């Protein structure tokens, strides 16, 4: 038995040497790269209670892992106390900020004396909004109306409806009327769920906003900025 274990351990120890990991390339890092060659690909999703910031540092089309001494932080503009370090998540970086704000500051800070920091990428979110939805249980055989304000006629709104009893529904409003009515004919039941009560999760999104990248960064930066509100409605057939 011990021999078997020893053999497995030996094989495990040898496998890296035998080339089992040779096809996994080490990640590209920001080390030694000029800030002017770097760009940020940023996604910000703001709810009524928090803001999720995701950022990918790139050199051209290459996604980079930050080298030691390079860091990303995000906070509400004018409120330094809210600043939070972004953590490595998947192939990028992310942080969640509690609260609401229209403008965020994203900073790429570099400790290396030879490197230039980019502390002032300013992200202006599309206007926040509040949603009014039914608060009591409603029948899916009746119309379900959502309203929200303030409206912004210049921006597109999207709506997603999900639930254990319905097939996912997506709608896009090319301009913002401040209201949407979900009609019974919009909802397709999942097989076997036609007669079941279930909670509908309605997500309203407003995209847009503006970004001003720190001038120390290179070209090619992108930002997707979204206000998102989620309402949950208990329904019966």
Residue 36 in the binding site for another protein (CB under 8 A): no
Positions in 166-185 near another protein (CB under 8 A): 171-177, 179-181, 183-185
Q: Rank residues 57 and 200 by Cβ distance to another protein and give the closer one.
A: 200
CB 163 within 8 A of CB 201: yes
- In order of 30, 66, 133, 139, the CA distances from 222 in angstroms are 18, 18, 33, 42
Per DSSP, the three-state class of 6 is helix
CB 91 within 8 A of CB 56: yes
Positions in 103-162 near another protein (CB under 8 A): 153, 157
Whole-number minimum distance, CB 140 to another protein, in Å?
Answer: 10
Residue 165 in the binding site for another protein (CB under 8 A): no
CA distance 206 to 199: 23
Q: Rank residues 60 and 184 by Cβ distance to another protein and give the closer one.
A: 184
188's CB contacts (< 8 A; 6+ apart) are 166, 167, 169
92's CB contacts (< 8 A; 6+ apart) are 41, 54, 55, 56, 57, 63
Q: Rank residues 173 and 201 by Cβ distance to another protein and give the closer one.
A: 173
Whole-number minimum distance, CB 24 to another protein, in Å?
Answer: 43
- How many residues sit in the footprint of another protein (CB under 8 A)? 19
Whole-number minimum distance, CB 128 to another protein, in Å?
Answer: 19
Q: Rank residues 160 and 186 by Cβ distance to another protein and give the closer one.
A: 186
């Amino acid at each position: 038995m011990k021999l078997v274990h020893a053999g497995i351990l030996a094989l495990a120890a040898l496998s890296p040497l035998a080339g089992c990991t040779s096809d996994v390339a080490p990640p590209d890092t920001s080390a030694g790269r000029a800030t002017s060659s770097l760009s940020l690909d940023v996604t910000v999703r703001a709810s009524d209670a928090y803001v999720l910031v995701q950022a990918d540092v790139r050199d051209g089309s290459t996604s980079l892992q930050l080298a030691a001494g390079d860091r990303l932080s995000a906070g509400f503009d004018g409120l330094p106390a809210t600043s939070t370090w972004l953590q490595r998540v998947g192939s990028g970086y992310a942080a969640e900020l509690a609260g609401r704000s229209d403008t965020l500051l994203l900073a790429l800070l570099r400790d290396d004396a030879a490197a230039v920091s980019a502390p002032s990428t300013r992200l202006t979110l599309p206007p926040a909004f509040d949603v009014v939805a039914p608060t009591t249980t409603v029948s899916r055989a009746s119309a379900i109306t959502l309203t929200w304000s303030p409206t912004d006629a210049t921006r597109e709104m999207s709506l997603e409806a999900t639930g254990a009893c319905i097939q996912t529904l997506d709608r896009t409003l090319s301009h913002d009327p401040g209201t949407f009515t979900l009609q019974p004919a919009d909802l397709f039941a999942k097989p076997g769920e036609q007669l079941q009560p279930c909670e509908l999760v309605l997500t309203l999104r407003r995209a847009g906003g503006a970004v001003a990248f720190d001038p120390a960064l290179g070209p090619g930066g992108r930002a997707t900025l979204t206000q998102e509100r989620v309402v949950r409605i208990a329904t019966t057939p």
